[in-house]
Chains A and B, each alone.
Chain A
Amino acid sequence: MAEPLDDYIDAVSKALALPVEEAWRPVVRANLEVSLRLARLVDEFALPDETEPAPVFTA
């Protein structure tokens, strides 16, 4: 049965011309789930609209 992220992985794989063989898919998916979970944690944190990235750390 297809996992929820499989369609997304297929679409990005095509868009980036990045091969994902079937044998790799479960690990790629597991890694993507971790990345998205952690990214969500950052996303949930409200930042002012004016916040800019910190490109080069000059402190």
Chain B
Amino acid sequence: MGLKGRAAVTGVADYKNVRKYTGKRKFFLEQWAELTQLALADAGLSKQDVDGLCCAAIPESTMFAPATIAEYLGLQVNFAETVDLGGASPVSMIWRAAAAIEMGICEAVVCAAPGLPIPSHPNPPPKDPTRVYGSTSAKWGSPQAEYDVPYGNVAQNAGYALIAQRYAAIYGYDERALAKIAVDQRTNAQGNPNAVFYGEPITIDDVLQSKMIADPLHILEIVMPCAGGSAVVVVSERLAKKCKHRPVFVTGFGERLTTRSVTYAEDMTVSPVGPAAAGAFAMSGKKPKDVDVLEAYDCYTITVLLTIEDSGFCSKGEGTAFVNENDLTFSGSFPVNTHGGQLGAGQAAGMAGGMSQPVEGVRQIMGRADGRQIANCNAALITGTGGIMSEQSAIILEGA
């Protein structure tokens, strides 16, 4: 059961992450066209090869996003998915694409996540007053609107802080280890000229002295929003042979959704990435010790810590010791988020932040990670996280 490893990522594309975007603004449809063109060129494929697409919501059209994208790009596809899993969407797009290809539905699927600002409306409609709640639904009938929002448990910071505080009470909290995650990833970002914090290394003390946002989370343990965007092309084994770079096969995946609000999680300190990663490892026949790099969705330092533990790289509660004992940089003993992660490279808008992890894993396995290349990188675990540890997915990537 599961994937046989017969679909591969063969092309990637991304925009440079920037905090203050001053370039030309583009609609998501325009970014889809551009990222698709760049990713196909990177793979060595043409538009005529594409017969599938996976997208997230686009601001231009609340419904019918795939058909709108297909029409705009002039594509005719046998497989189309709108994936609604927050930050986990990109990783989940890739396994859906691989599964569809292995079933013989299609041969080349573009998965894209635009995140540049769209043009300013000439007659802006009135601002929606609920936009201050971020991704928290304030619509009537939504449990969040009724039981989260009135108490101020709004958006992401509070939820992740609740997780971290509970973790601290159960397992103890080495704040320097948590800070070290941000520091090591920032060191990785120094090898990535596209990172927003390129040229700005930090120390553990910098993190611990940075502003406290929601105890115990400091601002340097929280992603920096930015403009960006990226895409990958997933293709059949047959098409992969025509492509320019080392194919990166998707050999396993897992996905798990539990709660929307972490308040109701069975155990706040045990994240759904556990079953997701276990599924991915089992399908690929690999074990945690077999992967050369972990590209872990990293909205917060606590997310990375729980991902390391729950994916099986160490025992539950041993995560901070593991981080202290290992060098998480690209040349270290346990490389994590070699592009800097979203903490070091920035979290591009839309769902683009979560595409940065698979793109980096692919680049590492292709041997195209330039100044941050891991020696002999052949296998990677990539994770995605949506909401407040609401939904997580994992894929194993392996070089041919």
Tell whether A pairs with B: no
